[in-house]
């Protein structure tokens, strides 16, 4: 498993909000070590038995946390991420609709500090053996040896469920987020899976728009572990924004065709439909 393992001790920023509270309960039920929460002005309260602190600094000092999952509303998300980066190694930003310039600021700072950021606009990370940071439903996952990395939250759930139905389990599932600017991308996650002893094959779920998949294809050429790919949005009209802010095609770049071609040239097993993914995995595992 990658990113989220037995040593992860997480805080929830925005824990007293509706989403933060709801998903904290789900994360605890999944077995995740949620050791504290942060909402300025709400210090001393408890949410589902988890103590709330006014600041990240205070929470980390008391709980020895090393990760955060952020449910803070978009206008305040940048400040929450900046606060977390000074004390934590891994930050999962669930919040959507964060202004792009805000995201650019904290992503650049994270790179300087060597802090890993997943998101924003991500369903998060799940390692079925130890729990989840985010909103991925545990019911669709079975513990196993296939890594999943995806730009699409909904497709992530569908594909994980297809694997489960076919008795194929997952080591870790990572949603990298659908915004134009994100933290760790396909290349970085593939690198982590390549080094992971619990992962024997990887499913990579891309979509139209941007160049992340083409960049990943260059890295995949050097990988030893097999990669199964799927690109969503094959029927999207050119120049039309589809779903995610990052999924827009411009001047022939970012099309499904260009991505599929790059992946096939890199030796990726590209599935035509998500229903094909379990069968491909059975053949190569």
| 101 catalytic residue (yes or no) | no
**The pLDDT of residue 152:** 83
| pLDDT band at residue 245 under the 50/70/90 scheme | very low
**The pLDDT of residue 266:** 95
What is the mean pLDDT of the segment spanning 89-116? Answer: 97
Domains of the chain (ranges, CATH numbers): 10-118 (3.40.50.720), 137-284 (3.40.50.261)
pLDDT at 247 over 80: no
**The pLDDT of residue 254:** 75
pLDDT at 205 over 50: yes
**The pLDDT of residue 248:** 52
What is the DSSP code (8-state) at residue 258? H
Question: Higher confidence at residue 283 or residue 153?
Answer: 283
For the chain, give the mean pLDDT. Answer: 93
What is the mean pLDDT of the segment spanning 117-138? Answer: 97
The active-site residue out of 23, 48, 101, 244 is: 244
Neighbouring-strand partners of residue 270: 229
Neighbouring-strand partners of residue 125: 133, 174
Q: Is the pTM of this model over 0.85?
A: yes
DSSP secondary structure of 191-242: HHHHH-TT-SEEEEEEESSSSHHHHHHHHHTT-SS-EEEEEE-TTPPTT---
- Asked if the bond preceding 120 is cis, omega within 30° of 0, the reply is yes
Neighbouring-strand partners of residue 143: 170
**The pLDDT of residue 17:** 96
What is the layout of strands, in order, in the sheet containing 67-70? 46-47, 50-53, 34-38, 10-13, 67-70, 90-93, 116-118
pLDDT at 21 over 50: yes
**The pLDDT of residue 236:** 57
Question: Higher confidence at residue 154 or residue 80?
Answer: 80
* Helix, coil or strand: residue 132: strand
pLDDT at 242 over 80: no
pLDDT at 40 over 60: yes
pLDDT at 255 over 90: no
111-125, 186-200, 246-260: least confident range:
246-260
How far separated are the first and last CA of the chain, in Å rounded? 17
**The pLDDT of residue 64:** 98
pLDDT at 121 over 60: yes
CA 222 – CA 151 distance, rounded (Å): 22
**The pLDDT of residue 253:** 60
What is the mean pLDDT of the segment spanning 24-30? Answer: 98
pLDDT at 12 over 90: yes
| pLDDT band at residue 252 under the 50/70/90 scheme | low
**The pLDDT of residue 115:** 97
């Amino acid at each position: 498993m990658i990113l989220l393992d037995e040593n992860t001790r997480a805080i929830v920023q925005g824990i007293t909000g509706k989403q933060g509270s709801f998903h904290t309960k789900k994360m605890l039920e999944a077995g995740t070590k949620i050791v504290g929460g942060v909402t300025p002005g709400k210090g001393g309260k408890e949410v589902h038995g988890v103590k709330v602190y006014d600041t990240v600094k205070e929470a980390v000092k008391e709980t020895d946390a090393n990760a955060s999952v952020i449910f803070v509303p978009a206008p305040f998300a940048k400040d929450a991420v900046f606060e977390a980066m000074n004390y934590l190694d891994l930050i999962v930003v669930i919040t959507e609709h964060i202004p792009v310039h805000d995201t650019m600021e904290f992503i650049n700072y994270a790179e300087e500090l060597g802090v890993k950021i997943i998101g924003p606009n991500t369903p998060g990370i799940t390692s079925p053996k130890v729990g989840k940071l985010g909103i991925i439903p545990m019911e669709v996952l079975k513990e196993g040896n296939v890594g999943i990395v995806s730009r699409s939250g909904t497709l992530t759930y569908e594909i994980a469920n297809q694997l489960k139905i076919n008795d194929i389990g997952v080591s870790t599932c990572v949603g990298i987020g659908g915004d134009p600017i994100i933290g760790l991308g396909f290349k970085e996650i593939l690198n982590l899976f390549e080094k992971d002893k619990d992962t024997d094959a990887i499913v990579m779920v891309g979509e139209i728009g941007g160049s992340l998949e083409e960049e990943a294809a260059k890295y995949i050429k050097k990988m030893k572990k097999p990669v199964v790919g799927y690109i969503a949005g094959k029927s999207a009209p050119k120049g039309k924004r589809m779903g995610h802010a990052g999924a827009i095609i411009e001047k022939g770049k970012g099309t499904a065709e260009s991505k599929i071609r790059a992946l096939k040239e890199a030796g990726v097993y590209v599935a035509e439909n998500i229903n094909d993914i379990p069968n491909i995995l059975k053949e190569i595992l």
